[in-house]
Amino acid sequence: MKNWTLSIGVLVLVTASMAWSTLVYANRYSNKDAHSIVGKWDSRIRSNGSGIILEFFPDGTVRKNLDFEKEGRYALKENRLTTFVWDAKENREKQRIFDLRLDADHITIKESNGAPEIQMERVCKGGPASADVVGEWFSSNYPGAIPVFPLEMPLRFPVFVEFAHNKLFFRSAPTKSTQGQYEFSDGSLLLTFPGEPPFKSKPRVSSEQTDIRISTKGPEIPFRRVTGSECAGQLEPTK
């Protein structure tokens, strides 16, 4: 019963995130914004897939998301999508093959084993890459996003799917979210989260990566900019 309660709580949380994850956004940043911290950042240090996502919004709001992420690679040839993700239990890379239909900001993929179709909506709508799968997508029915139960049929959770330019594939399912405030000026970042004292750091921000200290006593953590987040960063935070 405890496990079922936990899973329901997670499902409610990530479903609520759809309100701010599937809106229509502005176009990509110009070159002058390449060093802006606004956008979505994915921690590169993880423990068994668990890590942190930071989202900086233009109004000074920051969201810290704890998530479970799987990283792999993908190949796309015509309408055939193949993903390769390492399975630690089986100690091998597992391959999945999908038939893919791309309609601008919507993707439908389906495996040949008769599994239900997986629907995905582009997070950064209205961008220049409407004929490409590259970018971040949101799915409400991606199977096996969170390993809560050892079931034969994996549960389906809302999940973010990212196809990067370098053919890397990321699948991220949020599990907990905290909203705070930030100030970023002259290379200095001030973060404030509920129940925590404010603290400053000096992150090194480039167009693709940054190093951010997220607690007063913690080390700097390397983050990478999520593909297309220069557009997603224009989202309004959840009230």
* Residue 58 three-state SS: coil
Mean per-residue pLDDT over the chain, rounded: 77
- Residue 41's H or E segment, with its range, is strand 39-43
> Residue for token digits 């019963």?
1
Spatial distance between the Cα atoms of 26 and 47, rounded to a whole number of angstroms: 34
Do 87 and 94 form a contact (C-beta atoms < 8 A)? yes
Domain extent for 22: 2-232
What's the domain count of the chain? Answer: 1
Of 44, 89, 104, 91, the residue nearest 71 (C-alpha): 44
End-to-end CA, the chain = 31
pLDDT at residue 206, rounded to an integer: 83
Q: Is residue 198 part of a domain?
A: yes
pLDDT of 95 above 90: yes
Q: Is residue 213 part of a domain?
A: yes
Q: Is residue 34 part of a domain?
A: yes
Alpha-carbon torsion (217, 220, 221, 227), positive or negative: positive
pLDDT of 7 above 60: no
Structure tokens at 111: 């495996």
Q: Is residue 237 part of a domain?
A: no
pLDDT at residue 157, rounded to an integer: 59
